[in-house]
Amino acid sequence: MANVMRNFFLFLSKNKFLTRSAKKYGLRFGAARFVAGETIEQAAAVIRDLNGKGLKATIDYLGEFVDNKKEADQMADNCINAIEAIGREKLDSQISLKLTSMGMDISDDIVMANMKRIMEAAKENHVFVTIDMEDYERCEKTLQIFKQLRLEYDNIGTVIQAYLFRTLQDMKDLDEYAPSLRLVKGAYKESSEVAFPDKADVDENYKKIIQMHLLHGHYTAVATHDDAIIEFTKQFVKDNNISNDQFEFQMLYGIRPERQLELAKEGYTMRVYVPYGTDWYGYFMRRLAERPANVSFVLKGLLKK
């Protein structure tokens, strides 16, 4: 049943009519639990509150699968606006972005021009940038663009998904770049030809890449809400005398906030992924797909209205 619900919400996440309707009607239907508002000012207020509680943040201006230069340039402008807000307001925050929103599906020239603009603004404001990973067909190109930018900028990282068969080889190929990586299980629906279909196999691969990246001495963001993975990481760093400065935990805004505070109080770096913007629908549907408990949160919120 859980798998049926997951597939249902992933299917809805790609519906263009519903995406347009969501932009029109705003953050209703429970999405405000997971999205920090539609403007940078609203998102900044959320981040200030998180910082006050001892939590760090990474901010994401929502948007993906842009198909024209004008919109891609506007998305890049919004990212730069967020970077400047982080610098101006001295927020303890990084920024995350998707290359499809910067024009990757349109042309190499457009995406690279936008990324260079963003990276220069980030460098000037001392803000770290993480390139989010998207679906499998865009994985290789995302990694190639990351490698190209990493040669020029220190303040950039990307994401590796544990559910893909190619992941271990990708980790080996990236090693020479001494990358800062966010390690995740993976949230897209992928074919069993390219991804592990069973959760147990995904979890096992996740543990492997956490171990590999930490032992190679690279900065590691373990992005998970899974207590078993969190406890595994804690024990592994303890057993291998790895400093808390070499890794952090990451969770999504609105999911397990009490656990986030617990980890921060235990002395671990805890970073919250804070999305904002009007193009929130696809992100919201994937959050519902990931955890059935999220659906019950939304239904409870609707019943209160």
Cβ atoms of 94 and 128 within 8 Å: the answer is: yes
Residues (pLDDT < 50) of the chain are 1-2, 5, 8-9, 11-13, 15, 17-19, 21-22, 24-27, 294-305
Please tell me the predicted confidence (pLDDT) of residue 66. 87
For the annotated catalytic residues, the residue numbers are 132, 182
Cα distances (Å, whole numbers) of residue 79 to 95, 96, 167, 277, 304: 8, 9, 28, 11, 34
Please tell me the predicted confidence (pLDDT) of residue 289. 66
Please tell me the predicted confidence (pLDDT) of residue 31. 62
Please tell me the predicted confidence (pLDDT) of residue 279. 74
Cβ atoms of 108 and 72 within 8 Å: the answer is: no
Please tell me the predicted confidence (pLDDT) of residue 255. 87
